[in-house]
């Protein structure tokens, strides 16, 4: 049997959405340190087909997809609440670091930035014991781009300071729950060195990160006191957190271990981190020749020898970048790159990375493709799931997996060639996707947003998403968008917040400062962008029956009766039964009492997580 609603649904040129309940999933959280504890809780639906209009509305209710599996976190119960984050592309203002990423890739394409010899040593922040080989030293000294060389050294030192901060956090010196600012290092000019005391003539670089960290820790302590409802702030200065001097001394100790063979000596001076040339090799412009020597080199005594550029990237050799957008499908080249990326970047065991899991995660899609219509309602590529390929000199170096929907481009995943990590392809692809939205809004005016997936404030590595400004977070209860600058001080206090309850704070003086430039000028953190949407979710995760999960975010009126109120009315849910599309109210009398109780419990939970409007349009398959 079919009713008029179902027939109109089938006549829709964009298809129909058909889902089956996957109940509630528990999995080990991949974002916090609760290793072994299954604390990530999501509600899941397995979709055989989803229209782009329905999926757009699901995104705006906090849903995402992993292949054909649709899921939504239980925000109150999961250990790391995941807020949907989006950016209006036309309002995007790139930060200094984001502009630097674009300039770096442009220099590479022009042949003035080289992939191996000149930058590898500054682009691997995960290596805590990096020492610079003589080959890298010689290549750096031979680089005619002095400005580029100085920038590389500044970035290298900044990354090493961040590594020292990370080591200190792991060692319990600094709290892991507080987002500490990223380091910045500045060159000390020759004129300023002359004004300093004797013995400072070989001072090359300095950082004031300790002052920024001390201020951040003090603000965090004030927030903690407010949470504990302390009426009077402590008056003793020693209770206000460590001083910049103490922080600088701790970081200097860690840094001397990290870069002991780099040719620098590091000393803390009144809260500043100072970098000195260990061998007085400074030049008039403040740049130096890194003096670390590889033990494996047989030419350690050939000082002044100039290494030739690698024939793979000769000086002045230009490169060609191509970006291709194609519909989601299996591509052997893409799979080979994905496998290399998972093994080398994420340390996956080779036997765990297989073609079937790749297809299920990044190729399979339930989205019904909508071809271009020639009018202003669909972009030239159409709507659906796509892979955006990045090729340098015809070599595939990165793939962005995206969904293009009526109102947004939703970024799902990115994987890239580890050999090209120095180009920060994660950040670069995000900038390209934002530009794509801007360009295609001309063809499709409603398409104006860039969705970055989930923002997890309690996970430090995920906070880079807020650097794409001005962004908004989705309220987990009322599904309204709240500016990030309003949400951030609330999330600093506790991980789960009904954001719209505090929207009025926008017109009040904030109790905690907005996102500072220091926090937003994130370094080239490509370890985050590949997780813009989700992590790989296997279908064999532990499944929980509905009765084993209590939904404490369900109101009393909704639990007192299934047919009470708009949100509680399950009678208009469209269900698929024996090949037909029917409303539950038209068939409820055909179920026996036991089946009816079980089904109504199931439908009520489904209505709660998808909402009344979607439950009337989507087909809930029994």
Going across the sheet that includes 449-455, the strands are 321-327, 384-392, 395-405, 408-416, 449-455, 83-88, 471-474, 481-483
CA dist 477 and 579 (Å) reads 34
- pLDDT tens, residue by residue, 204-217: 888 888 888 888 88
CA dist 261 and 34 (Å) reads 36
- pLDDT tens, residue by residue, 37-83: 556 788 899 999 999 999 999 999 999 999 999 999 999 888 889 99
- pLDDT tens, residue by residue, 117-149: 443 333 333 333 333 344 443 444 454 456 667
In sequence order, the β-bridge partners of residue 83 are 455
CA dist 188 and 274 (Å) reads 9
Task: Give one DSSP letter per residue of 125-159, joined into a string.
Answer: TT-TT----HHHHHHHHH-S-HHHHHHHHHHHHHH
Q: Which residues of the chain have pLDDT under 50?
A: 1-11, 35, 116-141, 143-144, 227, 229-238, 280-315, 507-566
The 8 Å CB, 24+ separation contacts for 32-40 are: 32/79, 32/80, 32/458, 32/459, 33/176, 34/79, 37/79, 38/542, 39/78, 39/79, 39/80, 40/73, 40/78, 40/79, 40/80
Query: Rg of the Cα trace of the chain?
Result: 27
What is the domain partition of the chain in residue ranges? 86-109+318-453+515-534, 112-277, 554-621
DSSP structural state of residue 360:
I
Longest dimension (CA), the chain: 94
CA dist 443 and 614 (Å) reads 27
CB-based contacts of 209, cutoff 8 Å, min separation 6: 161, 165, 181, 183, 184, 251, 273
Q: Within its chain, how far is the Cα of 460 from the centroid?
A: 10
* Domain 86-109+318-453+515-534 in this protein, CATH class: alpha beta
Distance spanning both ends of the chain, measured CA to CA: 15
- What the block records as the tokens of 518 is 């220091």
What count of residues does the chain have? 622
DSSP structural state of residue 50:
B
Across 337-466, the runs of DSSP E, i.e. the strands, are 384-392, 395-405, 408-416, 449-455
Question: What's the per-residue H, E or C state across 218-277?
Answer: HHHHHHHHHHCCCCCCCCCHHHCCCCHHHHHHHHHHHHHHHCCCCCEEEEEECCEEEEEE
Q: Give the residue from 141, 73, 140 showing the smallest Cα distance to 476.
A: 73
- What the block records as the tokens of 564 is 């009470």
pLDDT of amino acid 256: 76
């Amino acid at each position: 049997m079919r009713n008029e609603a179902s027939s109109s649904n089938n006549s829709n040129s964009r298809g129909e959405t058909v889902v089956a309940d996957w109940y509630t999933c528990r999995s080990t959280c991949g974002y916090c340190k609760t290793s072994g504890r299954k604390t990530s809780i999501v509600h899941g639906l397995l979709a055989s087909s989803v229209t782009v209009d329905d999926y757009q509305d699901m995104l705006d209710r906090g849903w995402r997809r992993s292949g054909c599996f649709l899921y939504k976190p239980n925000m109150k119960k999961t250990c790391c609440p995941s807020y949907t984050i989006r950016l209006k592309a036309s309002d995007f203002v790139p930060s200094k670091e984001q502009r630097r990423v674009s300039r770096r890739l442009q220099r590479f394409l022009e042949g003035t930035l080289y992939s191996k010899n000149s930058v590898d040593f500054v682009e691997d922040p995960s290596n805590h014991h990096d020492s610079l080989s003589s080959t890298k030293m010689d290549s750096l000294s031979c680089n005619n781009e002095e400005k580029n060389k100085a920038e590389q050294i500044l970035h290298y030192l900044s990354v090493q300071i961040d590594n020292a901060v990370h080591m200190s956090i792991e060692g319990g010196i600094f709290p892991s729950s507080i987002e500490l600012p990223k380091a910045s290092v500045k060159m000390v000019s020759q004129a300023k060195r002359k004004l300093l005391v004797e013995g400072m003539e070989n001072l090359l670089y300095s950082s004031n990160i300790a002052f920024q960290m001390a201020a951040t820790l003090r603000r965090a302590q004030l927030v903690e006191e407010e949470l504990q409802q302390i009426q009077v702030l402590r008056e003793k200065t020693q209770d206000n957190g460590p001083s910049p001097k103490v922080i600088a001394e701790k970081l200097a100790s860690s840094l001397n271990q990290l870069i002991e063979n780099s040719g620098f000596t590091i000393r803390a001076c009144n809260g500043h981190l100072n970098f000195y040339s260990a061998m007085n090799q400074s030049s008039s412009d403040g740049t130096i020749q890194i003096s670390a020597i590889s033990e494996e080199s047989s030419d350690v005594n050939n000082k002044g020898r100039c290494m030739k550029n690698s024939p793979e990237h000769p000086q002045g050799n230009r490169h060609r970048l191509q970006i291709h957008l194609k519909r989601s499908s299996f591509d052997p080249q893409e799979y080979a790159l994905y496998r290399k990326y998972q093994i080398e970047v994420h340390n996956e065991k080779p036997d765990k990375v297989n073609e079937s899991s790749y297809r299920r995660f990044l190729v399979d899609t339930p989205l019904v493709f909508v071809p271009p219509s020639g009018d202003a309602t669909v972009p030239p590529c159409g709507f659906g799931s796509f892979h955006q390929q990045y090729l340098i000199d015809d070599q595939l170096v990165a793939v962005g997996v995206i969904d293009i929907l009526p109102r947004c481009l939703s970024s799902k995943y990115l994987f890239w060639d580890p050999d090209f990590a120095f180009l920060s392809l994660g950040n670069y692809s995000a900038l390209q996707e934002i530009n794509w939205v801007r360009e295609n809004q001309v063809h499709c005016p409603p398409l104006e947003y860039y969705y970055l997936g989930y923002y997890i404030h309690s996970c430090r590595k995920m906070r880079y998403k807020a650097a794409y400004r001005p962004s908004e977070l989705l309220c987990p209860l009322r599904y309204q968008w709240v500016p990030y600058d309003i949400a951030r001080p609330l999330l600093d206090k506790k991980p789960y917040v009904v954001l719209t309850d505090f929207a009025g704070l926008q017109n009040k003086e904030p109790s905690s400062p907005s996102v500072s430039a220091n926090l937003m000028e994130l370094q080239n953190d490509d370890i985050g962008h590949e997780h813009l949407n989700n992590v790989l979710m296997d279908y064999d995760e532990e499944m929980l029956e509905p009765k084993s999960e209590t939904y404490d975010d369900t109101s009393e009126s909704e639990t007192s009766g299934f047919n009470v109120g708009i949100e509680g009315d399950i009678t208009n849910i469209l269900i698929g039964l024996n090949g037909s599309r029917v409303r539950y109210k038209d068939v409820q009398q055909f179920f026996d009492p036991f089946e009816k109780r079980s089904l109504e419990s199931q439908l009520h939970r489904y209505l709660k997580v998808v909402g009344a409007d979607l439950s009337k349009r989507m087909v809930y398959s029994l």
